[in-house]
Structure 1
Amino acid sequence: MEFLIWGALPYAVAVMLISGLIWRYRYDQFGWTTRSSELLESKVLKVASPLFHFAILVVLMGHLVGLLIPMAVTNWLGIDNHDYHRGALIGGGFAGICLVVGLVLLLWRRSTKGAVLRATTTNDKIMYLVLATVIGLGLVATLTGGIGPGGEE
């Protein structure tokens, strides 16, 4: 079971991602649009959007670094397992909190600005629910699963 979750599943997800991107590019390039709401309200958007997008890029880069850099390299650099996990916990926790703040600001903007709310579709609501769930679960896992109360991993 452990091999299935940590060995096979990540590759299956990567294949699904690449296949989906190819399918969308070939058959449904213009099926979804962003329907920009920037013209409807931009004060909150100027803060919330960069915060959210930079934070999600940091989270993505953290995952890529964690997955692509082998333990032999970190050991060669003199980074032991404890320091590696502590750095991931601190960096990932900070990026996750910034991500949540950005998402909350975007959701607040979408729900309180009349013109933006009227432009919100059911797909937008489902996307925000899924996004908030994934971000919330990831942040909880990061903040509760990294290092135990006694400092052990």
Structure 2
Amino acid sequence: MDLLADQLWPDLDGDRALHTLRTTIYRLRKLIGTDAIVLEDDHVRLDTQHVATDLGRLWTALAHMRNTQLTETERLDAFDQALRLYRGPLLPGVALENVAEERSRLASVLLNEALAFLLTLDPTGPAAALRAHRLRTLAPGVTLPDALNRLWPA
């Protein structure tokens, strides 16, 4: 918890940062329920059985997007939801190594899954063009595969 407190409140000394973290956890538990926040082995996490997160919804949308058992419309909806939920890099101001790794992994998975899904669509259809354009706004420096290049000019 010390590391988390230092990352969240770098301007406070160690004891004040830790006190602020404990106070914040106490208040959050009052707001969203005691079981929603788990403290174990000096780690803090949300219990997904008691609280939903945008990150959890994003991973679910990505899973639906690649699920070929769903209809194309359902997969398009999942694509749209994934792009709505992804609002840029995860916790951009947090320098913790595991957060930085998850930030990078999430961005990579989102882009790769979205591109793979776009390749399953008719590249001449408006659904592919619209989604390719929306994806470009999230990753302007990415070059699409040749099959989609004309939908996403450099």
Assess same fold via TM > 0.5. no
Higher relative contact order (CA 8 A, sep 6+): 1
Whose helix fraction is larger, Structure 1's or Structure 2's?
Answer: 1
Whose strand fraction is larger, Structure 1's or Structure 2's?
Answer: 2
